[in-house]
Amino acid sequence: MKLLVVSDNHGDRTIIEDIVAHYNEQVDLMVHCGDSEMATDDPLFKIMPSVQGNNDYGQHFPEMQEREINDVKVLVTHGHLQNVNFTMNNLSLLAQEKQADIVAFGHTHRLAVTEHEGILFVNPGSISLPRGEYASIGGTFCIVTVDTNNFSVQYYDRVMRPISELKFNFKRLKN
């Protein structure tokens, strides 16, 4: 199963359109972790479902989305309601409650990936306004590949190039 995760484009519709056009036939699911600052009825969201971010004023995206592809449960949220700037505890508890295998979130504009108690937590960073150690890349998104034994996460830049130093592999504890 291949999952594409993007977040925090903050009104830059062109980059979302480019990603959808490039990867639509290459992945099983594409998700947006909020702060698109785009209209909920934008046709791109029929292909790439999104959640409500703290900057999605006047729009009514769901607070979270749950999807299941090939027995892999994916939970998508922006992260601001779980206070991810300060702690991962609330997001971890939500993931356990929802029995998620993968949690995709944004909000911090900093890419991050970790596995905890069999759950993969992945933040693609901001595709348009990155912060932190990898801000100089100019924006990132990621593709998560799941097989029976592993989670593999590859980050990409805005021109769809894989970033060699941002490839991660985790043993999958749940089967």
Instruction: Indicate the pTM of the whole model.
Output: 0.97
Produce one character per residue of 77-104: b if its CB has 16 or more CB atoms within 10 Å, e if not: bbbbbbebeeebeebbebbeebebbbbb
Binned at pLDDT 50, 70 and 90, residue 117 comes out as very high
pLDDT of residue 119: 97
Q: How far is CA 26 from the centre of its chain?
A: 16
pLDDT of residue 173: 84
Looking at 3.40.50.300, 3.60.21.10, 1.10.10.60, 3.40.50.1820, the CATH number of the domain 2-171 comes to: 3.60.21.10
Using H for helix, E for strand and C for coil, what is the string for the chain? Answer: CEEEEECCCCCCHHHHHHHHHHHCCCCCEEEECCCCCCCCCCCHHHHCCECCCCCCCCCCCCCEEEEEECCEEEEEECCHHHCCCCCCHHHHHHHHHHCCCEEECCCCCCCEEEEECCEEEEECCCCCCCCCCCHHHCCCEEEEEECCCEEEEEEECCCCCEEEEEEEEEECCCC
| pLDDT(80) > 60 | yes
pLDDT of residue 153: 98
Domain ranges of the chain: 2-171
Q: How far apart are alpha carbons 124 and 8 in whole angstroms?
A: 9
Percent over 70 (pLDDT), the chain = 99
pLDDT, mean over the chain: 96
Q: How far apart are alpha carbons 10 and 38 in whole angstroms?
A: 8
